[in-house]
Amino acid sequence: MIVMRRHLCLIAALLLICTNVVFAVPSWVKPGLVVVYNYEGGAATRSYGSPGSGSYGRGYMIFIVHSVSYQKACGLHITLFGGVSSPLVLYNSQVECFDIRQNLSFFVNPNMAAQWLKQRPPVGCKVAGVPGQVALECQRVGEINRVVITYDTRTGLIKETVTGATQYQGGWSSTQASLRFLKMLSISLPNVKAPSIALTSHTYQLYSATVMGTVPSGQISVTYVGREKNLFVYNIQTPAGLQKAYGNRYTGPFYIHPALLKRRVILSIPEIGFSIVTDGVGSRGGVVVNHIWNQQIISQTEIDPSTGLLLYQQQPVAGMGYQILQLTQ
């Protein structure tokens, strides 16, 4: 997660170079588009006078477009990330928007990218490159950040992003991450309105399950707070703190549209061994939805077939059993 956050922050810093010119999302970015990237990342830390430590993992990032406006594409961002010699470390799925003026996901406007090479970079940074590849390096006291973006000059599709950051304070720490384009496909999205359940608030009991038993570990409350254009906005209170989340007419932090539950296969990407499929009726009367990676169920949910409300979720935690969510209200 540290590598991933730094990866996104570096890209955001790059876009600060050019925000005063209006550019549109490329025309090939449409609802139903699915873009898949190989993801690799690692981190190493060493304190002066002591041995160092490090970690490395790889997986995939998946972007599924649900809606597009002039400067923004919104949809589902899925992360699959595992250690080289360990089971799944991270599986995350959330609704996000990618504003061409503020952050990057899988596309740039080629004309906007050309401006990066002409504009004066932020203080402490330098930008270089040629059409098709842009490099940004920022150096501050005790820290060096670098990002290299390679993109298709005709379409704006990002082919590769490589980032790195090094900090010096009582030693050093370094993070490296890369995204490399793998595949693009299209899925059929139903023409539906948002389910009414999206405008509600709910509470879930959180449990930790191991071979020693199942114990409560806190509550998660999801509170609907309003809308931002075609998105629903929620505050999620967890034992770790408060965070903001989004939903749309297809999915959100605690629901999936009932129309999608009528499909046997909701999403399938055979090249990476990932799929989301329905699997009959569960013990609570809901539709069972399995999220599968490399023939292993990495998340199992039970969804109310009439409303789309999440009733139950079970997700493995590497080396620690399962994390369970149970609807309470």
**Secondary structure percentages of the chain, helix, strand, coil, to 5:** 10, 60, 30
Residue 80's contacts (CB-CB under 8 Å, 6 or more residues apart) are 39, 59, 60, 61, 62, 88, 90, 91, 272, 274, 293, 298
Which residues lie across from 251 on neighbouring strands? Answer: 256
Which domain-ending residue is among 186, 205, 240?
186
Question: Is 79 contained in some domain?
Answer: yes
Q: What is the pLDDT of residue 69?
A: 86
Which domain-ending residue is among 131, 155, 186?
186
Report the number of distinct structural domains present in the chain.
2
Biggest CA pair distance of the chain: 61
For residues 127-141, give the mean pLDDT. Answer: 74
**Together in a domain, 224 and 108:** no
**Together in a domain, 129 and 223:** no
Between 66 and 70, the more confident residue is 66
Q: What is the pLDDT of residues 153-164, one digit of tens each?
A: 888 898 988 888
> How does the average pLDDT of the chain come out, rounded?
84
Task: State how far Cα 126 lies from the chain centre.
Answer: 28
Q: What is the pLDDT of residue 42?
A: 77
Question: Is 218 contained in some domain?
Answer: yes
Domain encompassing residue 277: 196-327
**Together in a domain, 40 and 132:** yes
**Together in a domain, 25 and 174:** yes
**Together in a domain, 17 and 146:** yes
Question: Is 222 contained in some domain?
Answer: yes
Rounded to whole angstroms, the Cα distance separating 322 from 303 reads 19
**Together in a domain, 159 and 265:** no
**Together in a domain, 200 and 182:** no
Q: What is the pLDDT of residues 283-302, one digit of tens each?
A: 999 999 999 998 989 999 99
Q: What is the pLDDT of residue 70?
A: 78
Question: Is 191 contained in some domain?
Answer: no
Question: Is 319 contained in some domain?
Answer: yes
Which domain-ending residue is among 144, 161, 186?
186
**Of 122-136, 214-228, 229-243, which range is least confident?**
122-136
**Together in a domain, 148 and 24:** yes
**Together in a domain, 134 and 225:** no
User: Is residue 95 pLDDT above 60, yes or no?
Assistant: yes
**Together in a domain, 204 and 167:** no
Q: What is the pLDDT of residue 52?
A: 53
Residue 273's contacts (CB-CB under 8 Å, 6 or more residues apart) are 292, 293, 294, 295
Question: Is 152 contained in some domain?
Answer: yes
**Together in a domain, 32 and 8:** yes
**Together in a domain, 94 and 135:** yes
* Type of residue numbered 187: I
Question: Is 288 contained in some domain?
Answer: yes
